[in-house]
Structure 1
Amino acid sequence: MRGIMIQGTSSDVGKSMICTAFCRIFSDEGFEVAPFKSQNMSNNSYVTILGEEIGRAQGVQAEAARVLATVDMNPILLKPESGMKSQVILFGKKLETMDGMDYRAQFYEKGLKAIDQALANLAQDFTHLVIEGAGSPAEVNLNDREIVNMTVAKRANVPVILVADIERGGVFASIIGTLALIPEKQRVKGLIINKFRGDVQLFEEGIRFLESYTGIPVLGVIPHMDRHEIEQEDSLGVQAVQQISRVEHAIELVVCKHPYMSNFTDIEPFLKEPDITIRWAETVADIGHPDILLLPGTKSTIADLRYWKQQKLGAKLSELYGNTWIVGLCGGFQLFAETLTDPKGYDGTAVENEEGFSLIPSMHVEFQKQKMVRRQRGTVKFEHAEVEVAGYEIHHGKVTASAYPLMHCGDNGEGYFHNRLLGTHLHGFFQDLHCRTAFLAPIRRQKNLPIPSPEVVKDPFDRWAGHVKSHLDWEKVIEIMEADQ
């Protein structure tokens, strides 16, 4: 099995997005390609068709490669919780919760075996892999037991392309410093300069310097692309999930920024709506009187509930109720309950009976050991439209049945929808353009904004892949991948 590994000079240089582009380009060219990341750390997971969790980036990359996502594409997923601990998800299922020191000391050998098993499984179905590294490969304090960068490149026997982000400055030092510190430097066969702004011709001297100094070819300089409309994964991307609309009387959407927020990608679809201003609220004073107040998912519902209680959010919700559209997603939905019970601490904080914000009468949440992980599909009746919606659930909390279910999934009701209060456990609820348009329609009518007709737009994967490929020496990329290591 052949492949190529994308590593970066630091976090958030664009490794995931470059891998996504490579997956789509290789798929377009007829390669049997799959994404792979040995270990991912993210609160934003992706649920496979078998109800297993992997990193959201690898799920998105599988979609770009036009293949079904499997646990072998991301055998180890770490989901941070409160108290410096993380859930360890091994091959899609929760193994245990560990702190960083215990994980480093106890999981190394098990992690290597999982990586080897996953690579062997993928080799049975695919001829090529696009492998994503994590953070920086030059973390000298961690490299003796790392299982995400050069260790993976060596076990998979693939070449490495190093990506650097020029937007944040220091690109020459970051590349040269990384190459000076990493083991297996000889595996680095190409460099990519990402997120460039301005005239690329101004960087030609920089390319000549890098190639002369390092002896490694610069494969391309990728210009920054606004609104690629492909989901980002990490909280580093939160800064991008905000916008100021230039439309007069625009819809104002305020998102509560929980201390332990997760799945912020649920908000990203609203970036596609030019008549919406999106901003974040870390305190009740930041909320104001928006058209929509959205409480996203959380990795520690009780801890975030207590944070917002200190902020007096309950009084603010009572003030807004019935006028502002209040939306709760997964953990944010659970905050609407009268009571939350978690005597065993499955959510991270043991509590016999915690009062919620009581927006939904007779709603109670009981946290259970068995995590609910599944895909769901149901029908939602909005004011002037009935829409079929698909998404996925990932939560420990079991919620009592609602008198006003948002949707019906088979014979069962899910969520809550009444008097401008909407709650659901379904992640990806607003991804569907028809659902989003139907939800926003009454708000647009109230503000005398035009209601757009849902239109089919160009596949964002195709658009992004075309952008990347047009600025790369793609023949050289193929040559590097197919060469013997």
Structure 2
Amino acid sequence: MSARAVMVLGTGSHVGKSLLTAALCRIFARQGYRVAPFKSQNMSLNSAATIEGLEIGRAQALQAEAAGVAPSVHMNPILIKPSGGSSSQVVVRGKIWGQVTAADYHQRRVEELMPLVRESYEVLAASCDVVVMEGAGSPAEINLKQHDIANMRMAEMADARCLLVGDIDRGGVFASLLGTLELLETEERARIGGFAINKFRGDRSLLEPGIRMMEERVGKACLGVVPYLPSLVLDEEDSLGLPAAKHAEWTADELADGSADRRLRIAVVALPSFSNFTDFDSLRAEPAVSLLFCRTVEAIAQADVVILPGSKQTMDDLMWMRGRGIDAAVQLRARRGLVVGICGGMQMLGETITDPLGVEREGSMEGLGLLPIRTDMQADKVTRNVVGKMAGASLFGHAVAERRVAGYEIHIGETMYLSEGSHFARLSTRDGASIEDGCVSADERVFGTYLHGIFDEDGFRHDFIRAGRAFHGLNGPGELYDWKQLREESLNRLADEVECALDMETIFGWAGVAYRRGFVAGDAAR
């Protein structure tokens, strides 16, 4: 192994490990080092497709972007996608490996997969100067520790020094840091080179006494306090980052605004098995849009556009919608407003969904009947990056300036058109194959597509907003954003703040490389 490793561990989920790992990847890259992220095992319904058409966690794709390298399955060799109850789909090196219970996975399957994890790490390490590793959850889950391959066992394998991160925004940061360290074995504690406090807002001087007491208590240095960073347009790791949807609603002022310059109200139905909610980050960032993740009939009735997103359990989520009257609310909205389906959401908009193999739920189920399509679930998953053009020259009945679309497919199921169906786009795969994607209703009020990430393309997103606003008699948007530029600015802002907050000389020393303050290697990372 040529690379040296550093590892970001956390006192729990959602303390900021993923974004701090991305920040370190960007900082190492700006210093001219070849760097790659690595997370042996990730549990998330947010995934991305590599260039080769393989599936990895969305967080590792972001970290690769921060490092300035193409995402690889070796960066996330095991992806666990919960399927409901205690069962999960396990994706190994980008492909479905099996469906297992939590007990079976932890007690038997982990050891079976460990050699593949080691091999993936070695592939990365052979081509890098530094590997920035990310732990999962907490390293002190003593009930699962014997077969934990995401934390201290990986640190030992890579001989990595570790930074332990606690989230002060959630409260109890000192107790969580101390408790985590106390539950580690002596040799494991020795790998923790220091701790950091994340998401701090307030008067730093009020924090200092606690930091000094903690340093004395655990015999380890605080390597920095990272401030709370609002308005970063970067991917969240999991559904803990999703705004609360149960009681989400528009404000009275928003609903009372009858002007033609008001924001376009978009309601995304927050399904129980909501997958790839990062599909909507770019829409949420637009000033001409007010996007709400919702679970109520009332919010759907107030929306200009309703979006059914991707789902890990499409048929179960459709049943959930029916149990709350959301299906009828969406059907009504399609007669008065606009409806869009992404991936599993598109499947729900069709006439029927059939699952003869019991991949999700054996049997057949009626869809919402808003698109003339039917879907048959299949055992094999389609995972690929695609580019193409909209089949028509209009959206919601309004001419579009940019017909180009791009994104990635990650789905189980083959969708077929009924006699009157028209497809939404014509796509091309990396190997040149041509695909007809999605469907558009005859009145153009409803469309569906398999494309995740479709709104990340500036041209399509801008046309989508313009067309949606025009349909509802609103003025054109006053300002539209460049999403790629926003992401790049956010990555650099994140890296700048973390670089100022943490003791980079010490962290770089763990990796055996020199840190040069103020140095930026060319413009590649900028």
Tell me the TM-score normalized by structure 1. Answer: 0.94
Note if 1:340 corresponds to 2:343.
Answer: no
Could you tell me which amino acid in structure 2 is paired with residue 342 of structure 1? Answer: D
Q: Distance in 2 between matches of 1:87 and 1:171?
A: 33
1:190 match: 194
2:406 match: 390
> Residues 251 and 443 of structure 1 are in contact (CA less than 8 Å); yes or no, is this contact kept in structure 2?
yes
2:235 match: 231
Correspondences of 1:352-371 after superposition (within 5 Å): 353-361=364-372, 363-371=373-381
> Residues 348 and 367 of structure 2 are in contact (CA less than 8 Å); yes or no, is this contact kept in structure 1?
yes
Unaligned runs of 5+ in 2: 429-433, 514-526
Q: Distance in 2 between matches of 1:233 and 1:111?
A: 23
Q: Distance in 2 between matches of 1:166 and 1:138?
A: 18
Q: Distance in 1 between matches of 2:403 and 2:481?
A: 12
Residue 357 of structure 2 aligns to a residue whose secondary structure is coil
Shift in Å at residue 359 of structure 1?
Answer: 0.4
Could you tell me which amino acid in structure 2 is paired with residue 416 of structure 1? Answer: C
2:129 match: 127
Q: Distance in 1 between matches of 2:332 and 2:250?
A: 25
1:155 match: 157
Correspondences of 1:136-215 after superposition (within 5 Å): 136-183=138-185, 184-215=188-219
Listed one character per residue, the Cα deviations across residues 441-474 of structure 1 (whole Å, up to 9, x for unaligned) are 0333422353425545453211211121121221
CA pair 463-240 structure 1, distance change in 2 beyond 3 A: farther
Shift in Å at residue 108 of structure 1?
Answer: 2.3
> Residues 289 and 324 of structure 1 are in contact (CA less than 8 Å); yes or no, is this contact kept in structure 2?
no
> Residues 64 and 461 of structure 1 are in contact (CA less than 8 Å); yes or no, is this contact kept in structure 2?
yes
> Residues 13 and 163 of structure 1 are in contact (CA less than 8 Å); yes or no, is this contact kept in structure 2?
yes
Deviates more, 1:148-157 or 1:107-116: 107-116
2:276 match: 263
Note if 1:350 corresponds to 2:362.
Answer: yes
Could you tell me which amino acid in structure 2 is paired with residue 480 of structure 1? Answer: W
> Residues 45 and 263 of structure 1 are in contact (CA less than 8 Å); yes or no, is this contact kept in structure 2?
yes
Q: Distance in 1 between matches of 2:273 and 2:481?
A: 34
Could you tell me which amino acid in structure 2 is paired with residue 447 of structure 1? Answer: L
> Residues 371 and 447 of structure 2 are in contact (CA less than 8 Å); yes or no, is this contact kept in structure 1?
no
> Residues 60 and 76 of structure 2 are in contact (CA less than 8 Å); yes or no, is this contact kept in structure 1?
yes
Deviates more, 1:287-296 or 1:310-319: 310-319
2:76 match: 74
1:306 match: 319
Correspondences of 1:48-127 after superposition (within 5 Å): 48-127=50-129
> Residues 441 and 451 of structure 1 are in contact (CA less than 8 Å); yes or no, is this contact kept in structure 2?
no
Could you tell me which amino acid in structure 2 is paired with residue 188 of structure 1? Answer: I
Residue 201 of structure 1 aligns to a residue whose secondary structure is helix
Note if 1:278 corresponds to 2:278.
Answer: no
Residue 354 of structure 2 aligns to a residue whose secondary structure is strand
Shift in Å at residue 435 of structure 1?
Answer: 1.5
> Residues 19 and 35 of structure 1 are in contact (CA less than 8 Å); yes or no, is this contact kept in structure 2?
yes
CA pair 462-213 structure 1, distance change in 2 beyond 3 A: same
1:412 match: 435
Listed one character per residue, the Cα deviations across residues 225-256 of structure 1 (whole Å, up to 9, x for unaligned) are 11111111201011279897988522212111
Q: Distance in 1 between matches of 2:343 and 2:122?
A: 35
Deviates more, 1:461-470 or 1:32-41: 461-470
Q: What percentage of residue pairs aligned between the two structures are identical? A: 39
2:19 match: 17
Deviates more, 1:130-139 or 1:102-111: 102-111
Q: Distance in 2 between matches of 1:176 and 1:283?
A: 41
Note if 1:461 corresponds to 2:486.
Answer: no
Residue 254 of structure 1 aligns to a residue whose secondary structure is strand
> Residues 38 and 73 of structure 1 are in contact (CA less than 8 Å); yes or no, is this contact kept in structure 2?
yes
Q: 1 or 2 for the larger relative contact order (CA 8 Å, sep ≥6)?
A: 2
> Residues 53 and 71 of structure 1 are in contact (CA less than 8 Å); yes or no, is this contact kept in structure 2?
yes
Residue 68 of structure 1 aligns to a residue whose secondary structure is coil
Deviates more, 1:137-146 or 1:400-409: 400-409
1:481 corresponds, among 511, 518, 526, to 511
Deviates more, 1:97-106 or 1:264-273: 264-273
CA pair 87-453 structure 1, distance change in 2 beyond 3 A: closer
Q: Distance in 1 between matches of 2:331 and 2:6?
A: 54
> Residues 7 and 137 of structure 1 are in contact (CA less than 8 Å); yes or no, is this contact kept in structure 2?
yes
Residue 301 of structure 2 aligns to a residue whose secondary structure is coil
1:326 match: 339
Could you tell me which amino acid in structure 2 is paired with residue 313 of structure 1? Answer: I
Q: Distance in 2 between matches of 1:283 and 1:308?
A: 10
Q: Distance in 2 between matches of 1:369 and 1:137?
A: 34
Q: Distance in 1 between matches of 2:272 and 2:481?
A: 35
> Residues 48 and 58 of structure 2 are in contact (CA less than 8 Å); yes or no, is this contact kept in structure 1?
yes
Deviates more, 1:213-222 or 1:441-450: 441-450
Shift in Å at residue 286 of structure 1?
Answer: 4.2
Q: Distance in 2 between matches of 1:8 and 1:233?
A: 13
Residue 408 of structure 1 aligns to a residue whose secondary structure is strand
Deviation beyond 4 Å, 4+ runs, structure 1: 240-248, 453-458
Q: Distance in 1 between matches of 2:454 and 2:320?
A: 26
Q: Distance in 2 between matches of 1:199 and 1:417?
A: 54
Tell me the TM-score normalized by structure 2. Answer: 0.87
Q: Distance in 2 between matches of 1:133 and 1:392?
A: 27
Note if 1:448 corresponds to 2:466.
Answer: no
Could you tell me which amino acid in structure 1 is paired with residue 492 of structure 2? Answer: D
Residue 430 of structure 1 aligns to a residue whose secondary structure is helix
> Residues 224 and 501 of structure 2 are in contact (CA less than 8 Å); yes or no, is this contact kept in structure 1?
yes
Unaligned runs of 5+ in 1: none
Shift in Å at residue 274 of structure 1?
Answer: 2.2
Note if 1:432 corresponds to 2:457.
Answer: yes
CA pair 276-453 structure 1, distance change in 2 beyond 3 A: closer
Could you tell me which amino acid in structure 2 is paired with residue 475 of structure 1? Answer: E
> Residues 401 and 413 of structure 1 are in contact (CA less than 8 Å); yes or no, is this contact kept in structure 2?
no
Residue 98 of structure 1 aligns to a residue whose secondary structure is strand
> Residues 54 and 92 of structure 1 are in contact (CA less than 8 Å); yes or no, is this contact kept in structure 2?
yes
Q: Distance in 2 between matches of 1:260 and 1:69?
A: 25
Shift in Å at residue 276 of structure 1?
Answer: 2.4
